[in-house]
A and B are shown apart, each in its own frame.
Chain A
């Protein structure tokens, strides 16, 4: 199925867009980046709870949209218009400059092709990368590291999940670190050096004949020591970077610290909940608006905080499924199908909406109720894995999925 850009109007906009030279090109012109030290990064963000894509990137040029959502639509005059057809929810105002600088791209009507409307299953499928198959026990982001050359330093921070336990997406054979809080990531107190207790534990685990514990233990203490040495605490957010309060902002702030401390992060994962709005979803204000503000301001702050490092960073967002095209009887929406994804980063050919728009007429809806799916999320992720990270072995990352490079949307330039 050939994909084409959603609107030719995009290209009209592109002319305007070139007036502003992408900032990374401007930066590269100064030759600030040494080729050898470059370390490509893929950051995946999960919006858990099924975000309402139709109210996030609003098809305001679609009359059906307003008919189906009488009380929760985003009025045309409040939408931040992108291309005359799509517009951003006003709470995504901090995304607007990123769009204008062409760092931010959008893929609409995207997601997992599995028809499940169960949060559990759908999240699982998007993390294992094998929709419909529950038996997969490792995650695609972990598998994406398998055939990837390690970064210059053999870093325990190669794969990092922000949170107390290892999410499914990063579980698997490749070493990965789950970190809840940078400050708690040690044994027997912080300090610049290992505490005596930590030294004893390190010796035990380093020399243990227990293969599993030995490996993780070694990785852990490498990470602890590396973290102490790098002292990421000194990497305070860049000027004019304001992370919103809350777990998600904290996660991204800490991730930026790790990246800036040059710890060799190649893939990273963070998540944000609170998207399941069956009742009183709100319109320009309300529940969805609030979580969107936290979501977009955190990501914009992260991008700003990364500065030049953003050049080698690609951030992709996903959510397990979209929500019903029509609002329900409680001014909310129920579980639906396709959704919207954001792709942000230096190599992103931004300022465009990718994917084919399936339309919102009754006959165009999936099962008569939901936005139909025209882009498999794996198509987007595969491009990030192959084109950005450089792992061409996609059959292993997304088994059973025909993710040939020829099918890419060419979001990354």
Chain B
């Protein structure tokens, strides 16, 4: 009742603000006090900064609650119920799995190879068996094809391979078992696709490309058999026949009721299961999944792409939290810290560590103590793997010197001579040490030297992962740890194993440089690309006084005049994530499948979890304002409100109260709903011209509906800022 009375009045005031005619406010003062309009503007600002933008009606709710109270509540997410979101998340089982469980249930290439080689048993559980079976068959088919290609290539000329090389290859001793796996893991680590595929959007373009890959590999499979069958090859034509039969069986599946369909798939012979899995490639085959329970759906999807299930659920969860969580500040801060302590999803084993990294390392500390967060990241397998620290070996450690683990066994002296053949690749890895100082704590100008980097790297030798490819956890391996004292930033660190690392992390977490750097980054996220130094200084003081309490630092920020200054209002250009999440929130859309949104983010240059360098994604405007990205944003805005983004339902009645109302009335009401009337005259006039233009041009142009007007507003320059 109250809000319905208040709303039109607020609108008027806001309009007057947008027109930047202060006198109007003065006129209105009589029947409505200025503080109310001020409160509305404050609510918009708070929702734009502490949240991923306002949802329909939310500005009024925050005004009703009182902006300061709302901010205080957001600073204490534990007091906010988030049950609606939790029920949306219930279907994503991998969010509640440990990395170890993930490896078992959603095997990677290495696991499949072990099963194919008979080193690990094929699982008995029917569902799990189906997942493994398809991967094993595909692996064998790939190897078969490779052998054939090699045979073809080598058979005729042979001239390219001279005999000496041939014999060299034969004589090359097979790598020792242990060494081999170690080197392979190291290779996986180095093949951080940093190098591999170009630029930032592997994470997603893998998705996008899987469609192409599937079609080409399918056509490569079947017609390969076809072409070979020309000189009537029995085996070949039989294979083709089997495949056609299998495809027919698969096509019958959607006719079955869900439960029977699921049972049927699990009981199919291997070749039909492969045909089924192929039919799901590239996000196709949605009708096979209709009506199934979450776990059943996951199993079937995993038959096609086991690891894709993990990353898809992680990405969906991130988007759904940004869009629907009531604990908005917690999600904003989780995103902020994840980006600060960035880990790239496509670097080897990190795809199984990221779920837990975000959930157990980042989110619980997002508003807590910085030092706790820093220690948690330092010990996380995700970070240890991403920045290679798990491979770092002290040059004088027992491992590097080749001293066996159980010296007693080797002779009466108990300390055998070091192995003269040191491990070739054993050595310090400075990657983590450097980024810890430069990106996580002190910042690039934080007054450390290359010597400090090397010493810090020595301190963290032995901080490794217990069997990364099996999803193991943190392990301190004293055999890898560099002996002796270290000198870090002028402080002598006594030799005490794992404790050295803890001492250094404490030193860094409490350093004034760190306090300043973190305060600066927070101010850049919440205030402006170049925040006022005085504000950063006050935040730094709070950081130091409150021992790195992030909540306190944010409180200083949110209660500062700089945060509320007019110059900060809508001063930040949204990142693609902020843009997509805020657009979906503004329209009140219902997201059934967030993957199409994730693909949009990749097209805008910000694939989720896909920032390859340890710097994470930029928060600054210039990064996100490119031609390609702007066009993608405009196209997304129009597609979203036209209901053309699969899996995202925009309720047009949500957008406009009365679809029969004339377009300009619709425009006014949408300006209020979507962008709190912060629309420039230019934008407003451009849309009006579009409406009138469509009215005048007689023939085919239909009058713009609410969807199109909404799309234009969401693609406008104003909506690109928060």
A and B from one assembly? yes
Give the segment of B190-198, B321-329, B490-498 that binds chain A. Answer: B190-198
> For the complex, what is the distance from the CA of A196 to the CA of B683, rounded to whole Å?
14
The interface-forming segment of B157-165, B232-240, B402-410 is: B157-165
Residues on A with C-beta less than 8 A from B604 are 164-165
Contact B180 A329 (CB under 8 A): yes
A130 within 8 A of B: no
Residues on the A chain within 8 Å of B179, using CB: 329
Complex Cα distance, B475 from A65, in Å, reads 40
Please measure, in the bound complex, the distance between the C-alpha atom of A220 and the C-alpha atom of B626, giving whole angstroms: 8
Cβ distance A33 to chain B, nearest Cβ, rounded Å: 30
The 8 A CB mask of B610-642 against A (1 = contact, 0 = none) is 001111000001110111111110110010000
Contact present for B628 and A164 (CB under 8 Å): yes
Given contacts A177-B628, A247-B198, contact A209 B183 (CB under 8 A): no
Are A329 and B183 in contact, with the CB atoms below 8 A? yes
Distance between Cα atoms of A272 and B680 in the complex (Å) = 43
Kindly state whether residue A223 has any CB partner on chain B within 8 Å. Answer: yes
Interface positions of B from 675 to 694, Cβ below 8 Å from A: 680, 682-683, 685-687, 689-690, 693-694
Q: Smallest distance from the beta carbon of B211 to chain A beta carbons, Å? A: 14
Partner of B717, one of A176, A184, A208: A208
Q: Are B629 and A165 in contact (CB under 8 A)?
A: yes
Asked if B720 contacts A213 (CB within 8 A), the reply is: yes
- Check B626–A166 contact: CB distance below 8 A: yes
CA distance A118 to B612 in the complex (A): 12
Q: Which residues of chain A in 306-337 are interfacial with respect to chain B, using CB atoms and an 8 Å cutoff?
A: 320, 328-332, 334-335
Q: Which of A75, A167, A171, A207 contacts B682 (CB 8 A)?
A: A207
Say whether, besides A90-B160, A166-B605, A330-B187, A196 and B690 are in contact (CB < 8 Å).
yes
The minimal Cβ–Cβ distance linking A123 to chain B, given in whole angstroms, is 7
Asked if A208 and B682 make an inter-chain contact with CB atoms under 8 angstroms apart, the answer reads yes
CA distance A166 to B612 in the complex (A): 14
Give Cα distance in the complex from A219 to B198, angstroms. Answer: 25
Interface string of B520-550 (1 = CB under 8 A from A): 0000000000000000000000000000000
Q: CA A328 – CA B172 in complex, angstroms?
A: 12
Question: Is the CB–CB distance between B193 and A217 below 8 Å?
Answer: no
Q: Say whether B708 contacts A197, CB under 8 Å.
A: yes
In the complex, are the beta carbons of B682 and A209 less than 8 A apart? Answer: yes
Give chain A nearest CB distance to B617 CB in angstroms. 10
A200 to B180 alpha-carbon distance, docked (Å): 61
Nearest Cβ on chain B to A256's Cβ, whole angstroms: 19
A362 to B444, CA, bound (A): 35
B312 part of interface (Cβ distance < 8 Å): no
Question: Does A165 contact B605, Cβ atoms closer than 8 Å?
Answer: yes
A113 to B160, CA, bound (A): 36
Q: How large is the interface on A (under 10, 10 to 19, 20 to 34, 35 or more residues)?
A: 35 or more
Check A166 against B623 for contact (C-beta < 8 Å).
yes
Name the contact of B199 in the complex, choosing from A165, A171, A216 (C-beta under 8 A). Answer: A165
Q: Does B43 make an interface contact (CB < 8 A)? A: no
CA distance A123 to B196 in the complex (A): 12
Q: Which of A49, A70, A197, A332 contacts B711 (CB 8 A)?
A: A197
Q: A120-B613, A274-B197 are in contact. Are A328 and B183 (CB under 8 A)?
A: yes
- When distances are taken between beta carbons in the complex, the residues of chain B under 8 Å from A165 are 199-201, 604-606, 626, 628-629
Q: Using A49-B195, A207-B686, A212-B621 as known contacts, say yes or no to A178 and B187 having CB atoms under 8 A apart.
A: no
B195 engages A208 (CB within 8 Å): no
Task: Report if A209-B635 is in contact (Cβ < 8 Å); known contacts: A134-B438, A165-B199.
Answer: no
Q: Is there an interface contact between A201 and B712, defined as CB atoms closer than 8 Å? A: yes
A301 interface residue per 8 A CB criterion: no
Closest B residue to A188 by beta carbon equals B638
Least CB distance, A119 to chain B, in whole angstroms: 3
Known: A124-B613, A134-B444, A165-B628. A180 touches B603 (CB 8 A): yes
B626 touches A216 (CB 8 A): yes
Asked if A73 and B165 sit within 8 Å, CB to CB, the answer is: yes
Contacts of B715 in A (CB 8 A): 201
Those of B189-246 within 8 Å (CB) of chain A = 190-201
The reply to whether B198 and A216 form a contact with Cβ atoms under 8 Å apart is no
Known contacts: A185-B631, A197-B638. The answer to whether A330 contacts B625 by CB under 8 A is no
Assembly CA distance A90 to B693 (angstroms): 62
Report B649 CB to chain A, min CB distance, Å: 21
Q: Are A180 and B625 in contact (CB under 8 A)?
A: no
**What separation, in Å, do the CA atoms of A163 and B629 have in the docked complex?**
11
How near does chain A come to B611, taking the closest CB pair, in angstroms? 10
**Which residues of chain A from 149 to 194 have any CB-CB distance to chain B below 8 Å in the complex?**
156, 163-167, 171, 176-180, 184-188
Question: Is B699 in contact with chain A by the CB < 8 A criterion?
Answer: no
| Interface flag for A275 (CB, 8 Å) | yes
Q: Complex: how many Å from CA A335 to CA B189?
A: 12
**CB pair A187 B634 closer than 8 Å:** yes
A75:B161 contact, CB within 8 angstroms: yes
Closest to B612 in A: A120
Q: How far apart are B625's CB and chain A's nearest CB, in angstroms? A: 5
Binding stretch for chain B, among A258-266, A277-285, A377-385: A277-285
Does A405 lie at the interface of the complex (its beta carbon under 8 Å from any beta carbon of B)? Answer: no
Question: How far does the alpha carbon of A119 sit from the alpha carbon of B193 in the complex, in Å?
Answer: 9
Report how far A147 CA is from B179 CA in the complex, Å: 54
Whether B682 lies near A330 (C-beta < 8 A) is: no
Judge whether B686 and A278 touch: CB under 8 Å. Answer: no
In whole Å, how far is A326's beta carbon from the nearest beta carbon of chain B? 9
A271 touches B199 (CB 8 A): yes
Contact between chains at B627 and A48 (CB < 8 Å)? no
Q: Is B199 a contact partner of A187 (Cβ separation < 8 A)?
A: no
| Chain B residues whose CB sits within 8 angstroms of the CB of A271 once the complex forms | 198-199
CA distance A73 to B630 in the complex (A): 47
Contact indicator B196/A223 (Cβ below 8 Å)? no
State in angstroms the CA–CA spacing of A123 and B192 once bound together.
13
A273 touches B195 (CB 8 A): yes
Asked if B396 lies at the interface with its beta carbon under 8 angstroms from chain A, I say no
Q: Choose among B172, B627, B638, B712 the residue that contacts A220 (Cβ–Cβ < 8 A).
A: B627
Question: Does A50 contact B717, Cβ atoms closer than 8 Å?
Answer: no
The answer, among B162, B629, B635, for a CB contact under 8 Å with A178, is B629
Assess whether B195 is in contact with A50, with CB atoms less than 8 Å apart.
yes
Q: Known: A177-B627, A284-B161. Contact between A212 and B622, CB under 8 A?
A: yes
Q: Smallest distance from the beta carbon of A204 to chain B beta carbons, Å?
A: 4
- Chain A residue nearest in CB terms to B182: A329
| Residues of chain B within 8 A of A285, CB atoms compared | 153, 160
Task: Tell me the bound Cα distance from A170 to B39 in angstroms.
Answer: 43
Residue of A nearest to B202 (CB): A273
A275–B183 CB distance below 8 A: no
A176 CA / B689 CA spacing, docked (Å): 30
CA distance A42 to B62 in the complex (A): 54
Residue B186 at the A interface, CB < 8 A?
yes
- Answer yes or no: A370 CB below 8 A from chain B CBs: no
Question: Of A120, A185, A273, A275, which is in contact with the most chain B CB atoms at under 10 Å from its CB?
Answer: A120
Tell me the bound Cα distance from A272 to B198 in angstroms: 6
Q: Which residues of chain A are near B161, meaning CB under 8 Å?
A: 75, 78, 283-284
Whole-angstrom distance between the alpha carbons of A207 and B689 in the complex? 14
Given contacts A204-B683, A279-B187, A329-B180, are A48 and B196 in contact (CB under 8 A)? yes
B168 contact from A48, A70, A198, Cβ within 8 A: A70
B698 shortest CB reach to chain A, Å: 14
Q: A49-B196, A203-B686 are in contact. Are A276 and B628 (CB under 8 A)?
A: no
Given the known inter-chain contacts A220-B631, A330-B175, please indicate yes or no for A213 contacting B625, CB distance below 8 A. Answer: yes
- B13 contacts the other chain (CB 8 A): no
Q: In this assembly, does A236 line the interface, its C-beta being within 8 Å of a C-beta of chain B?
A: no
Report if A164-B635 is in contact (Cβ < 8 Å); known contacts: A196-B690, A212-B622.
no
- Whether a CB of chain B sits under 8 angstroms from the CB of A267 is no
Taking A75-B164, A164-B199 as given, write out 18 further A-B residue pairs in contact, using a Cβ cutoff of 8 Å, ordered by the A residue number.
Answer: A46-B198, A48-B194, A78-B161, A134-B444, A166-B623, A197-B690, A197-B712, A203-B682, A208-B682, A212-B573, A212-B622, A212-B625, A216-B625, A219-B627, A247-B198, A273-B198, A329-B424, A330-B175
9 contacts between A and B (CB under 8 A): A73-B165, A76-B162, A120-B612, A212-B621, A217-B717, A272-B198, A275-B196, A278-B186, A334-B190
A-B CB proximity, top 5 nearest: A49-B195, A165-B605, A119-B194, A278-B187, A203-B686
